[in-house]
Structure 1
Amino acid sequence: MIEGHLTPVTKYLISFPSEAMVLTKEDFPIVSADAHAVIEEAKQAGVYVFGGGINEGVDPVLVSGDGSVSAEIYPGSRLRGGFTVLELPTREDAVQWARKIAVACRCSQELREFMYDPAS
């Protein structure tokens, strides 16, 4: 729950694939600073859970129940780019934060809602 709120809140995934962010070398530090400013704003608002960028220089692997590791991942599975998880009271709030991130990152953001899990 967000500090000061008595009602349950939902976690939202705000993300973009790496190919969506098309920047010049000169723009990258500006966009990085703008994106970090939005993340700092989310932290100050008490809604930030976790975020980051996927390290695309490290190949994903598939780990089975017996601990074996395979380079072959699920067909069609791909997770690249950047993401942020925020805990918010409404979907409208999530849309507003996704808008802020879209402006900062200079690319549209995908918004997904996590299913409620009382243990998380």
Structure 2
Amino acid sequence: MPRYLISFNDGAMDHIPDEEIPDVGKAAHAVIQDAVSAGVWVYGAGLERQRASVVSTDGTVTDGPYPETKEVIGGFVIVEVPSREEALTWAGKIALACRCAQEVRELLPDPEQDTMLREADRHR
């Protein structure tokens, strides 16, 4: 089944007053519980506001993102649903709860990785 990345940009929630953040958190956790109950939740998290480190193929580490990068991810959710339309529906629920627009992208399938993960789960 396809997996979708639902994400929002760093700073997208900056318009929310501090006193309303607990309500946003409750609403977001309600959507997470709905997704878990529906069996579509894979993973999600907010990202600390920080500059990323970029590791090159030769192992060199530099500060990132590159100066031309205008937007970085502030948080994300991965859902496993049968269609893009359903992913868009979940993105709408997340957008309402988090009070910010969400981007939706389909992740490339990787059957070999899925097999490795199932095998690892079996050994836990």
Q: TM-score range by the shorter chain?
A: 0.7 to 0.9
Identify the range of structure 1 (37-46 vs 72-81) with the bigger mean alpha-carbon deviation. 72-81
* Counterpart residue number, 1:10: 2
Task: Answer yes or no: is the 8 Å Cα contact 1:10–1:90 preserved in 2.
Answer: yes
Task: Answer yes or no: is the 8 Å Cα contact 2:8–2:103 preserved in 1.
Answer: yes
Q: Deviations over 1:61-98 (max 9, x none)?
A: 11123322111444427423111011111111101101
Which residue identity does 1:106 align to in structure 2?
A: R
Cα distance in structure 1, aligned partners of 2:74 and 2:80:
20
Normalised TM-score (structure 1): 0.82
Question: Per residue, is there more helix in 1 or in 2?
Answer: 2
Gapped runs of 5+ residues in structure 2?
Answer: 114-124
Structure 1 residue 119, shift from structure 2 partner: 2.1
RMSD: 1.7
Task: Answer yes or no: is the 8 Å Cα contact 2:7–2:76 preserved in 1.
Answer: yes
Cα distance in structure 2, aligned partners of 1:108 and 1:66:
37
* Counterpart residue number, 1:27: 20
Cα distance in structure 1, aligned partners of 2:20 and 2:93:
18
Q: Deviations over 1:16-74 (max 9, x none)?
A: 11322220111110001100110111112111111111111x32111123322111444
* Mapping 1:1-120, distance limit 5 Å: 9-21=1-13, 22-56=15-49, 58-74=50-66, 75-76=68-69, 78-120=71-113
Amino-acid identity (%): 46
* Counterpart residue number, 2:122: none
Which residue identity does 1:34 align to in structure 2?
A: A
Task: Answer yes or no: is the 8 Å Cα contact 2:7–2:73 preserved in 1.
Answer: no
Normalised TM-score (structure 2): 0.80
Question: Judging changes above 3 Å, is the alpha-carbon distance between structure 1 residues 72 and 26 closer, same or farther for their aligned structure 2 residues?
Answer: closer
Task: Answer yes or no: is the 8 Å Cα contact 1:54–1:79 preserved in 2.
Answer: no
Gapped runs of 5+ residues in structure 1?
Answer: 1-8
